[in-house]
Structure formats: structure tokens, C-alpha cells
Amino acid sequence: MTEEPGRITRQFLTAPMHEVHARLRSRMEAMGMVVSLDAAGNLRGLWRPEDAGSTRMLIGSHIDTVPDAGAFDGVLGVTLALEWVGIAQELGLRLPIEVIAFSEEEGVRYGLPYLGSRAVAGSFDASLLALTDAGGVTVDTALREFGLDPERIGEAAADEDALCFIEVHIEQGPLLEAEDLSVAAVTAIVGQTRLTLTFTGHANHAGTAPMHLRRDALAAAAEWITAVETEGRSTQGLAATVGRISIEPNVGNVVPGLARVSLDVRHARDAVRIEAVQHLIDAARAIAAARGLELAVAGQLDQPAVPMDERLTAMMSAAIETAGYPVKTMPSGAGHDAIVMAARLATAMLFVRSPGGVSHHPAEDVREEDVEASLHVARAFLVQLGGEVG
């Protein structure tokens, strides 16, 4: 179900979304669930046992992808959510469960992520309707062309009967693989800082500009990039990355006069992240000053860390132990719909091993035994939660 034959690409409200909705709707209805499509394009299936109250658990993930994606990021969490309903039905729990297939999480089409979960969390600002994609199509137009009414997005927000939100997701990293573990309870989603630093020197002839008189912007950036790596390696739990660099004039026989580089810093503790970012900005300023360059720093993102609910995370850890697996807790280095939902509801996440630590790539994979492990954990978790609600 893809926009591009031969590889998986499924952006927000593109034609393949209709196919995904049809497949999921069929499965939900076969399980006795009441299915609806909200105004943000989230497909929602509600299972409510007879004589059960209105208090319900929400569980789900997203069904959009990055270009040339793997098959499991987001989608695994949606299909497993249906399995959670099946387990609850087998156990005869009186716990209503709402499964949500979020329409957008990746931020690919409109450059802003979590459009689907923002609606459910009640944080979808009307200004987002004016965002445009590469073809000039606004969010408002895309929603209407999909058969939705943007004026009703407010109705998608979870009500007071929503008890909590659970998301099952592939780890998208190598830690579980390195420790030969199937699953882990997520403690927090790390905070992120994204900056762009511009070193400005003076372009000059590569043959006639003496080395000691050069104001080489690329050399300065290179020196600073090693400082970024050193900061990341020397600070426990810190991820510091320079992933993009552009230079001017970008000619082989010219000393670069300008170098523009990105910085991405992440940590589960905001204080550590903020301190590391300041260290790196100070280092860049010192390098620029020593080389006679100018430095400009521009911020793109300053997102605080989002802790998962401590009680639900403890329940998830206990469920892992009850299911017979080693208990592993860890932060998530990537963003998820849970980061938005946590502002609205008590939220917890369960990670499933990513073989090879590969994600956002066609080689992304899961192991059947790890999926099975996650379902044993689901059973133990549902027994706990169902006992509280029932």
C-alpha cells in the first residue's frame, strides 16, 4: 500500500491511506469493534464489552511512513493493538479498548510531525490547516479531498473517559539487539535541540592563499565537528550529531568562505542536554574567534524530554517480568505519537527489538519471537489494568 511501486512510501492522506483504512476497518469490524474515521484522518476502532463502563484504554501508533520505508515503523504498533483487543476478549476483560491508527507522525508531507495525534490530544492548532506540501496543497485541502471536514477536528480530541494511552513500537535502534533482549519498557522520550551554525570566513584561491593567513570556514567547522563527537562520547546517554553540512563556494580549488552545519543533540534529561548544547556553542565561538571567523547560531527546535507515566511504566515492567523476560527500561531516542499523547493522558510505551538496529530503511525488520514476547507482555499488562478498571 504505497505511492511508489517497488518501495514503501505512504504519506499523510495520500491514496494508499484509503487502502490501509479499508484493510484495518475490515479487521476491526470482524472483531466486533465500532469503527470511525475522525476529521484528522485517524481510523479508530472501539471494542466495548457488554455491560462495561465508558472508561477505556487507548492504544495505537501511526500508519504513515517516510519515503522508501521499512514495513514495521508505526504499522506494527497498530496491528499489535488489534491483537491486544483479541487478548482482552479471550480474557473476558471488562476493559473497553480504543485502537487508533494515527494518520500522520513522520512529518514528511507537511514538514511538521504528529498531525494525527495532535488532534486526539486536543493540541491541533487551526493554523496548521494552512501548511502547504511540496505541491502547494494545504492541509485543509488535503483533508477535504480525502472526504474529511477540517472544521470538525476538535471533535477528535480524547474525552474524559479516556484512561490512558499505550504505544507499542519497534526500538529503531541497536540496544535491545546488543543485549539480546526482545522487549523493553520506555521511561521517557528524549528531549531534542536542533541548531544550524554558520561559520563565515573568506573565500580565496587555494594556490595563492598562505595557510597561516587563511580564514577557512570549512576547516573551522571540521574542528568543531570533532568537538561535537567528543561531547557525545564523553557524556553518558547523550547523542550529538552533525548530519548536514553545506559550504560556499564549494569549488575544489577555492578556500571555503562559508560553512553551514546542523547540530542535533538529544538526552533524556533536559539539564544535561542544555548544558551540552551550551558547551558546543561556546566551543564553536572559540574556534571561530581563533580563526578570525564570524559565527551565527540559529535554532530550529528545543523540545523538552517527555517522561512516560511512572505508574504505567512500572506496570509495563512488571508485565515483562510476569511474562518471563528480563526487565529492561530505556529512553527512546526517537520521537513517537506518545510524546504528544503524554500531554493529554497517562502514557506508556513498549519497545520491540529492531534486528540490526535498522529503521527508516527497507531492511527494517522484526523477529517473530519478539512479537510473540510483546503479546505475552500485553496479556500480563491487560490483566493488571483490567483488574483495576473492572
Architecture field, domain 191-303: 2-Layer Sandwich (3.30)
pTM here? 0.88
> Band of the pLDDT at 390, cuts 50, 70, 90?
low
Look at the domain 15-189+305-389 and name its fold: Aminopeptidase (3.40.630)
Query: Distance between CA atoms of 91 and 377, rounded to whole angstroms?
Result: 14
123-131: long-range pairs with CB below 8 Å, 24+: 123/340, 123/343, 123/344, 124/40, 124/153, 124/154, 124/156
| 156 pLDDT higher than 90 | yes
Q: Model confidence over 214-234: pLDDT tens digits?
A: 999 999 999 999 999 999 999
303 band by pLDDT with thresholds 50, 70 and 90: confident
Provide the residue ranges of all domains of the chain, joining segments of one domain with +.
Answer: 15-189+305-389, 191-303
The per-residue pLDDT for 388 is 85
Q: Which of 159, 158, 131, 162 is nearest to 13 (CA)?
A: 131
Strands 56-62 and 97-102: what pairing? parallel
Q: pLDDT digit string (tens) for 344-388?
A: 999 999 999 999 999 999 999 999 999 999 999 999 999 999 988
Per the document, the length of the chain is 390
